[in-house]
Amino acid sequence: MPELPEVEAVRRQLEPAMVGTRITRVELRRPDLRAPFPRRFAQRLAGATTTQLSRRAKYLLATLSSGETLLMHLGMSGSFRVAEAGDSSNDNRNPHDHVVFHLASGWDAVFNDPRRFGFMDLVRTTRLDRHPALEGLGPEPLSAAFDADALARACAGKRTPLKSALLDQQVVAGLGNIYAVEALHIAGLSPHRQASTIATPAGAPRDSAHRLTAAIKQVLAEAIDRQTSASYRAERFRVYDRESERCRRPRCPGVIRRRTQAGRSTFYCPVCQK
């Protein structure tokens, strides 16, 4: 499933083509994705202008001049491409191109989803925070609201493993398995330690909370830069998917291990992550 950096890269790809541009027509090539499209979906979008394209956790939010917001999730295999008008016509169509947004600018924004686990919804913008997908989400990890104090308060008293706490979307929104693992390695913290250990009994941040918030911001910012770089190359992670390889921390003799936590693979160095 695309993680936050991949979703942010898609947002940046779509923004120049969509923002400030009227949607002339929406072409639905099937009645559903993960779920059926909302009632009169194509008709409600036609004629609206996208005034802003933002991201909340792993969701894309297109704010529309109609007073509604288009809420989108890529699912397991969803992706967008921006094509010149006509390149997504029936003569050139990919069988997994399920939704085509025809734009007044002369571009098409094409949603492709082989496994059809993505979804799209239309929500009144004033009620967006109450949508089930967004309600209760924690702070954005790259925002000023997410700092050591916020993380410590969220983890205070939690007896769950630290990595499990990081994947709790009420603690921090949009942080996924890969980058939680990477951040813990940078911060030198074991994914198995109790989450409450990064906070004092009063909920104040310990040094570990400061290291961890900085590491989360670092790994996400680096990943977004890579994803949006014109010379993008596939990522080589510090610990993720590197079981039995030597730790990359300078002078650390450790070897990366893999364990399963809550059904997800956790990679870590047992020597330098305490």
Per-residue pLDDT of the chain (274 residues; tens, 9 = 90+): 789 999 999 999 999 999 999 999 999 999 999 999 999 999 999 999 999 999 999 999 999 999 999 999 999 999 999 998 877 666 667 899 999 999 999 999 999 999 999 999 999 999 999 999 999 999 999 999 999 999 999 999 999 999 999 999 999 999 999 999 999 999 999 999 999 999 999 999 999 999 999 999 999 999 999 988 866 666 679 999 999 999 999 999 999 999 999 899 999 999 999 9
What are the angstrom distances between the C-alpha of 186 and each of 8, 83, 120, 177?
22, 39, 35, 15
Place of tokens 């030597």: 246
Cα 109 off chain centre by: 20
Running DSSP on this structure, what letter comes out for residue 249? Answer: S
Running DSSP on this structure, what letter comes out for residue 125? Answer: G
- Active site annotation includes 264: yes
- Active site annotation includes 3: yes
Residue in 3, 8, 140, 182 annotated catalytic: 3
CATH number at residue 249: 1.10.8.50
- Active site annotation includes 58: yes
Q: Which of 130, 163, 189 is the last residue of a domain?
A: 130
State the pTM of this model: 0.93
The verdict on residue 142 lying in a domain is no
The verdict on residue 54 lying in a domain is yes
Q: Which of 75, 97, 130 is the last residue of a domain?
A: 130
Same domain, 86 and 193: no
The verdict on residue 18 lying in a domain is yes
Task: Report how far residue 244's alpha carbon sits from residue 164's, in angstroms, rounded to the nearest whole number.
Answer: 23
Task: Note whether 170 and 154 are within 8 A (CB).
Answer: yes
The domain in which residue 51 lies consists of 4-130
The verdict on residue 203 lying in a domain is yes
Task: Note whether 58 and 73 are within 8 A (CB).
Answer: yes
Residue in 93, 116, 193, 264 annotated catalytic: 264
The verdict on residue 141 lying in a domain is no
Number of domains comprising the chain? 2
Running DSSP on this structure, what letter comes out for residue 203? Answer: S
